[in-house]
Amino acid sequence: MITYYFGFLLVLSILILLYMAGKSYENINIYYWTIVLLVPIILLGYWLKTLVTTVNAALITMCYIYLDSTVLLMVILFSILFFLNIRVNPILKIIAYGCAFGHMFLIWLCVDNDLYYKSVTLINTSFGTITKMESGPLKIIHWIYIVAAILAISITLIAAWFRHGTFSRKTLITYSAFTAVGIVLYIIESLVDIDFSLLPTLYVVADLAVALNYDTAYSHDITGLVSRQRAENSTHGYAALSLNGQFLSCTRKAYDFFPELQLQIVDTKLVEGTTVATILYGLLEDYNQNNVTTKKFQVGELTCECEISTFTVHKRKKVLGYFFEIRDITEEEKVFKVMKDYNDTLNAEVNAKTDHIKGIQEKVVVGLANMIDNRDSNTGGHVKRTSDVIKILVEEIQKQGLYNIDDQMANDIIRSAPMHDLGKITIDNSILCKPGKLTDEEYAIMKTHAPKSGEFVHIILDDVEEDHFVQVAYNVARYHHERWDGKGYPEGLVGEMIPLEARIMAVADVYDALISDRCYRKAMSVPEVTEIMTENMGSQFDPNMYSVFLGCKDKMEKYYRG
């Protein structure tokens, strides 16, 4: 009777295995599958044990049965840890499985001696053959291993009930219930003399629960679900190449982008000259040489993008190959083009408005400067002349390469020139237009126009112009009366402490003052002006401006002649 029952359980466990195989799961839980595979082998031992007629045959069947209390226990432990998302160090796994298989092999090696079992007696009954065994000296090893494994499993399950995670509580209940029943049955059968074990029934019921729970467990594996959904429903194509560029695999969607892949032979190089070879090998070369990860290409009317990355099978293992993700970005490109065209149009309009505002602003500044300039009829035109002269000086500096003045800086200096004397609007006409020499008190008041000019620059330009231009204009306005030897005003700066733009403005300002009529004297002759300018290079002016002045002297003289 028991023989048929164990036989039925064996057949049932095989059917469960076939049921699992028929489900065609793409992501396999190796622990579940190991349990489902081990159970039929263990049940085979229980079934044969009821049929044997010799002691040696009974001992051989025990070798099958002992898989449950050796390897199966360890698989259950690691299955629970995996279910709880607890990753175990590979070395610890090797040690644990080594103990399990070592224990199993020890039992196998003791078949022909009395180290594990002193005596074995077969009793034939109407239900089948019963095996009575007397333990040998090495059986204590088995009990130590069993106790350690059961403790590890029990502690893990108890800890799981107090642990938060994304694991299924239903599955945890299943694990806990079958483990508890199994422990109780094993202890009872080991301590009480029972002729036939109930463990095979538990194994099959647990096996069936594992099979029926597999779908539930699979649904909790978000990584597997994402992988499957992406593979089945993604609009992206995926392909893989080995490190030496051989074709490994691809998804069906990849055929939409590269039809040639349908004829590609696995483990061979991509066919030279094909679109897929050009794109993938080209991106692979850019990736290795320049760390480029994406490449755009055309497939008919489609605009596509291919992205490369490396892949490995195990954590902390070497790279095995290259993974390519191909996607259609036609619509994205269309949207991008529309946005770009819109932005270009908007920028053009903004630039036009900005230029218009700047034009108005410059007219206001120049108008204000001319108004100040015209307060003294003898110095009229100073603003325009100094602006033209400073342009000549800046061009000569760039030509000689004495200072690193780029086109941006040059433009800022030239645009700043009209603002250098804005502060004179605060000076009383009696001082500004005085035909004679100023008193010390009057001169002190006159000197205040330099810092005032700097203040007016910020009032007029802040929040309207770019910062670099505001700074240049401020320096020109505030510091153009500073001297190289430190005897200037308003701060008495020395040498290169004076901003370059202010040093250039000083040359243009003094040159125009000397060569033009002033309220307190007539214009000097060209030779006199040249002599004064050159003599003051290194004292009043930057000594590097000597070669600049001489280089453009003729051009400035021509400008003043008409």
Contact between residue 366 and residue 383 where contact means Cβ atoms under 8 Å apart? yes
What pLDDT band is residue 542 in, cutting at 50, 70 and 90? very high
Q: What is the pLDDT of residue 505?
A: 92
Per residue in 446-462, pLDDT (tens digit) is 888 889 888 888 887 77
Q: Mean pLDDT, to the nearest integer, of 309-328?
A: 81
**Residue 28 has which token pair?**
């396999």
User: If you average pLDDT over residues 55-59, what whole number do you get?
Assistant: 83
Between 234 and 506, the higher pLDDT residue? 506
d(CA 434, CA 413): 30
Q: In the structure, what pLDDT confidence band is assigned to residue 378 with cuts at 50, 70 and 90?
A: very low
Tell me the mean pLDDT in the region 328-356.
75
For 290-314, the pLDDT digits (tens) are 888 998 888 888 888 999 999 886 6
What pLDDT, in 10s, does the model give residues 267-278?
899 998 898 999
Which residues are CB-contacts of 202 (< 8 A; sequence separation ≥ 6)?
178, 181, 182, 185
- Of 230-234, 323-327, 493-497, 498-502, the poorest mean pLDDT is in 230-234
pLDDT band at 354 (very low <50, low <70, confident <90, very high): low
Asked if residues 253 and 279 have their Cβ atoms less than 8 Å apart, the reply is no
In the structure, what pLDDT confidence band is assigned to residue 188 with cuts at 50, 70 and 90? confident
Interval 479-483 mean pLDDT: 93
Q: Give the global pTM.
A: 0.48
Share of the chain above pLDDT 70, in %: 85
What is the Cα gyration radius of the chain? 47
Comparing C-alpha atoms, which of 384, 392, 401, 385 is closest to residue 549?
392
Q: Quote the mean pLDDT of the chain.
A: 82
In this prediction, residue 27 carries a pLDDT of 62
Specify the amino acid at residue 443: Y
Q: DSSP letters along 485-510, please?
A: TS--SSS---GGGS-HHHHHHHHHHH
Q: Residue type for 311, please?
A: F
Mean predicted confidence (pLDDT) in 76-93: 85
Q: In what order do the strands lie in the sheet with 321-328?
A: 247-250, 237-242, 321-328, 302-311, 294-299
Q: Are 10 and 40 in contact (CB under 8 A)?
A: yes
| Res 222 pLDDT > 60 | no
At residue 537, the pLDDT reads: 93
C-alpha–C-alpha distance, residues 483 and 184, integer Å: 102
pLDDT of residue 146: 84
Q: What is the pLDDT of residue 280?
A: 93
Looking at residue 377, what is its pLDDT? 44
> Rounded distance, CA 35 to CA 20, Å?
12
Distant-in-sequence contacts of 304-309, Cβ < 8 A, 24+ apart: 304/257, 304/328, 304/329, 304/330, 305/329, 306/279, 306/280, 308/283, 308/284
Q: pLDDT of 19-40, one tens digit each?
A: 888 776 656 678 888 888 999 9
pLDDT score of 110: 83
CA distance 529 to 556: 12
Kindly state the average pLDDT of the residues 81-98. 86
* In contact, 241 and 247? CB cutoff 8 Å: yes
Please determine, for residue 368, whether its predicted confidence score (pLDDT) is greater than 60: no
Question: Given a cut of 90, is residue 539 above it in pLDDT?
Answer: yes
CB 58 within 8 A of CB 120: yes
Cis peptide before 200 (omega within 30 of 0): no
pLDDT of residue 194: 59
The pLDDT value recorded for residue 521 is: 67
Please report the pLDDT score of residue 372 as a whole number: 58
In this predicted structure, the answer to whether residue 202 has a pLDDT above a threshold of 70 is: yes
Instruction: Report residue 380's pLDDT band, with 50, 70 and 90 as the boundaries.
Output: low
pLDDT band with cut points at 50, 70 and 90 for residue 358: low
Tokens of 242: 């080995």
Closest Cα partner for 504 from 540, 470, 476? Answer: 476
Cα first-last separation, the chain = 131
Q: What percent of the chain has pLDDT over 90?
A: 19
